[in-house]
Structure 1
Amino acid sequence: MQEILDDIVATIGSSTERGRVADYIPELAGVNPQQFGICVATVDGQLFSAGHSQQLFSIQSISKVFSLTVALGKLGDGVWKWVGREPSGDPFNSIVQLEHEHGKPRNPFINAGAIAISDAILMKHLPREALAEILSFVRFIADDESICFDDKVAKSELETGERNRALAHFMAAYGIIKNPVDYVLGTYFHHCAIAMNCQQLARAGLFLAGDGRNPVTGVRVVSASRARRINSLMLMCGHYDGSGEFAFRVGLPGKSGVGGGILAIAPGHASIAVWSPGLDDVGNSKLGSQALERLVMKTGWSIFA
């Protein structure tokens, strides 16, 4: 495995076609696009990494997997009153479908869906309470108390997130959003601004590779059926309007973030985190996707194998 990761860093990691960083978020615009890291956490407790695997980055929409898991733990299948379970086929920040579908987001991984999930988690509480719950959960599944919010990134998103404000107000008009919009957006922007490195992120995803149980600690995080459903949503919806292409090329459940990270799950085998800040045309890590495609070719971990 270490040889595979070293080869990926030596080949894909040295590419000059790296995509474009998410410059619409000022704090992310200055991230060095030459960085590239990858980590594989296996279900038998081994950890393999290469490149800039210990460099912290903003996980952005990868956090939507964790906030969804928290919401499912609080509300169970009641979550689906807030969001649907279908691929969107549209950009992550699109407002078009909301109008056609009476304000209910298509799935929990597009921006509108994650904002609705943030509203569900709030349950009339203050944002700091909901954020403490989300951060505590992420620290628990990663077994790392050092994980924190990047307040500079959160502030940057608060100052520039007009499209997300439009989504939230539109949903509030349809009664999907129940809490004050500012509370919901404060929760959403901050959980997207959680900072992790590839090693922490790979460990955090292990429960999804282990049928809901962290195979290293032995602690059950969610039921086996819930883990499979989260993985299925990641496969169908985890890369926005690039989800089909990712499933076609990589063949693993995965969730991307505009910070350049991707969390991918090889059920029964491993949790994989890759980070390269440059994005492709639909907002997914350009080199990260290529790296995962190469990893799956070398390991045979595709769920379609």
Structure 2
Amino acid sequence: MAVADIAIARIVAEIAEEMRSHENRGKVATYIPPLAQVPADKFGIAVILHDGTVHAAGDAEEPFSIQSISKVFALTLALGAVGDQLWHRVGREPSGSAFNSIVQLETEHGIPRNPFVNAGAIVLCDVLLGRLQPREAIGQMLRFVRELAGDDGIAIDETVARAELETGFRNMALANYMRAFGNIHGDVGMVLGTYFHFCALAMNCRQLAMAGRYLMGGGQVGGHRVVTEKRARRINALMMSCGHYDNSGDFAYRIGLPGKSGVGGGILAVAPGIASIAVWSPGLNPSGNSHLGQLALERLVQRTGWSVFEPRG
């Protein structure tokens, strides 16, 4: 279903207006103090089409903590470092559990279900630290997202990173538990410090949608290849099946796009070959995904036909 550029601009503006006045906004995350201070009335959306056209509305230029969306970029870097050897240490199946669950690690011998739950992303950081020091790994991540977005203004919010360290006791438990099973090889403190800094990346909707273009474009952006087409397709597949924790099936059912959420209220979604999309609203549903963000994406695919399950031709 082809949608004219002028129609996309209208749809994006309409959705932003609808979300602005929506009464049920979810609940802002409170377990990381800086996130609890973000006003619940925020909403931003940015849609970047395959030809580079940008359509944005609402609070699309306001930075927010991308949190677990950073796991998409960490996965890309980890696959670049060790290739398919990664899958000996991290699974590729939906978890069906909360993003910070420790239960499955007992029965599955310290192997996280997928790279998008917290335990999986902690393993990704350990993989990267097999070749780099923490400062180097954090710098590599920052350079990577800046290059993807074409924006050197992207930064890590050190206040959020410190708050993560001060409150991240469950993540510490996950890391130590995996260390006991031999699936964390490096110093647990260094691995967690890297993980917390990745989660503390601050980006706005426009920057995040720009950074996701390589997954929309079969692994390349403007003729520059970031990953192979096969790897981009597989990352998208993992986003579709695992990108929203125990809400992933419902997200696929309602929206039908690969996507990754974060408890800062952001969602990165990909319409392969068509658009890279970022939405942000800090109020979360019970599974830790942006309530209005999911609603906005649902309305976007209803009006454009961009769901990957929509018949083409």
Question: Could you say which residue in structure 2 is the equivalent of 1:261?
Answer: 266
Read off the aligned partner of 2:99 and give its amino acid letter.
Answer: F
Q: Is the 8 Å Cα contact of residues 34 and 163 (structure 2) preserved in structure 1?
A: yes
1:112 and 2:119 correspond: yes
Q: Structure 2: any 5+ residue segments left out of the alignment?
A: 1-7
Of 171-180 and 130-139, more deviation after overlay is shown by: 130-139
User: 1:90-140, CA deviations, whole angstroms, 9 ceiling, x for partnerless residues?
Assistant: 000000000010000000000000001000011153211111111111111
CA distance in 2, matches of 1:204, 1:14: 29
CA distance in 2, matches of 1:205, 1:250: 17
Q: Structure 1: any 5+ residue segments left out of the alignment?
A: none
* Superposition pairs of residues 1-305 of structure 1, within 5 angstroms: 1-123=8-130, 125-214=132-221, 217-305=222-310
Read off the aligned partner of 1:80 and give its amino acid letter.
Answer: W
CA distance in 1, matches of 2:132, 2:151: 26
CA distance in 1, matches of 2:143, 2:18: 37
CA distance in 2, matches of 1:104, 1:270: 33
- TM-score scaled to structure 1, two decimals? 0.98
Read off the aligned partner of 2:243 and give its amino acid letter.
Answer: G
CA distance in 1, matches of 2:50, 2:82: 28
SS at match of 1:201: helix
CA distance in 2, matches of 1:72, 1:229: 11
Q: Is the 8 Å Cα contact of residues 19 and 43 (structure 2) preserved in structure 1?
A: no
| Cα distance, 1:201 vs structure 2 | 0.3
Q: Is the 8 Å Cα contact of residues 97 and 105 (structure 1) preserved in structure 2?
A: yes
Q: Is the 8 Å Cα contact of residues 82 and 117 (structure 1) preserved in structure 2?
A: no
CA distance in 2, matches of 1:110, 1:249: 21
Read off the aligned partner of 1:101 and give its amino acid letter.
Answer: E
Read off the aligned partner of 1:245 and give its amino acid letter.
Answer: D
SS at match of 2:171: helix
CA distance in 2, matches of 1:139, 1:68: 16
CA distance in 2, matches of 1:302, 1:91: 25
Q: Is the 8 Å Cα contact of residues 13 and 287 (structure 1) preserved in structure 2?
A: no
CA distance in 2, matches of 1:13, 1:176: 45
CA distance in 1, matches of 2:260, 2:163: 22
Q: Is the 8 Å Cα contact of residues 131 and 187 (structure 1) preserved in structure 2?
A: yes
Read off the aligned partner of 2:306 and give its amino acid letter.
Answer: W
Read off the aligned partner of 2:74 and give its amino acid letter.
Answer: S
Q: Is the 8 Å Cα contact of residues 27 and 285 (structure 2) preserved in structure 1?
A: yes
SS at match of 2:283: coil
Q: Is the 8 Å Cα contact of residues 124 and 179 (structure 1) preserved in structure 2?
A: no
User: 1:244-296, CA deviations, whole angstroms, 9 ceiling, x for partnerless residues?
Assistant: 00000000000000000000000010000000000000000000000000000
SS at match of 1:290: helix
CA distance in 2, matches of 1:82, 1:57: 31
SS at match of 2:46: strand
SS at match of 2:225: coil
CA distance in 2, matches of 1:139, 1:123: 23
Of 126-135 and 248-257, more deviation after overlay is shown by: 126-135
Read off the aligned partner of 1:266 and give its amino acid letter.
Answer: A
CA distance in 2, matches of 1:98, 1:300: 39
CA distance in 2, matches of 1:191, 1:8: 30
Of 11-20 and 256-265, more deviation after overlay is shown by: 11-20
Read off the aligned partner of 2:97 and give its amino acid letter.
Answer: D
CA distance in 2, matches of 1:45, 1:148: 23
CA distance in 2, matches of 1:140, 1:225: 21
User: 1:53-78, CA deviations, whole angstroms, 9 ceiling, x for partnerless residues?
Assistant: 00000000000000000000111101
Runs of 4+ in 1 over 4 A off after TM superposition: none
Read off the aligned partner of 1:10 and give its amino acid letter.
Answer: E
| Cα distance, 1:145 vs structure 2 | 1.1
CA distance in 2, matches of 1:94, 1:29: 21
CA distance in 1, matches of 2:242, 2:278: 18
